[in-house]
Structure 1
Amino acid sequence: MKHSIKVNGNQATVFLADKLYVRDASLLRDDVLEIIDRGVTNIRIDLSGLSYIDSSGLGTLVTINKRTKEKNGRLVLRGAQGLPFELIKRTRLDRVFSIED
């Protein structure tokens, strides 16, 4: 998985590409939690380039969502499609996350 983070003030956009597996999920979690702890609490994660996500990746998104809420921020998932979107719906995480097209 490849990811990049663009920070602008109190907001950050995380771009994900390829597949999100357990090893990559921990790297992503560490990177995003670090910026949240620095005060960037409004996070948008762009999933439009993601073709697969496993349970570790979903768990990472849940952790990021929890941390943003603890810091009075917000996580928004954007561009989810295909298998990642189906897994989010099947696990009913679409009821937990804010999701944009």
Structure 2
Amino acid sequence: MKHTINISGNQATVFLTDKIYVHDASLLRDDLLDIIAQGVTDVKIDLSELTYIDSSGLGTLVTINKRTKERNGSLVLAGAKGLPFELIKRTRLDKVFTIE
């Protein structure tokens, strides 16, 4: 997985590509928690180029969602499709996340 983070004020847009496995999810979580600690409250994650996400990746999204809400912010998932979108729906996380 490759991820790119663009920050503007208290907002960040994260672009994910390829697949997220355990090691990738850990790196992504650490990077996102760091930017949230620096004052970012609103995070948008673009999943349009993501082809797979495992349970640890979904757990990272849950963690980031919780952390942004604790700071009166939000997490938005954009462009989810294919298997990642199906996994989000099957785990009923589509009821938890804001999805565009």
TM over 0.5: yes
- 1:52 Cα deviation from its structure 2 partner: 0.2
- Provide the TM-score with structure 2 as the length reference: 0.99
- Over aligned residue pairs, what C-alpha RMSD do you find? 0.3
Deviations 1:35-76 (A, max 9, x none): 001110100000001000000000000000000000110000
Tell me, what secondary structure is at the counterpart of 1:7? strand
The corresponding residue for 2:30 is 30
Distance 1:39 1:99 in 2: 23
The corresponding residue for 1:11 is 11
Distance 1:49 1:30 in 2: 21
- 5+ residue gaps, structure 2, are none
Q: Give the percent of matched residue pairs that are identical in Structure 1 and Structure 2.
A: 78
Matches within 5 A, 1:1-101: 1-100=1-100
Distance 2:76 2:27 in 1: 19
Moved over 6 A (4+): none
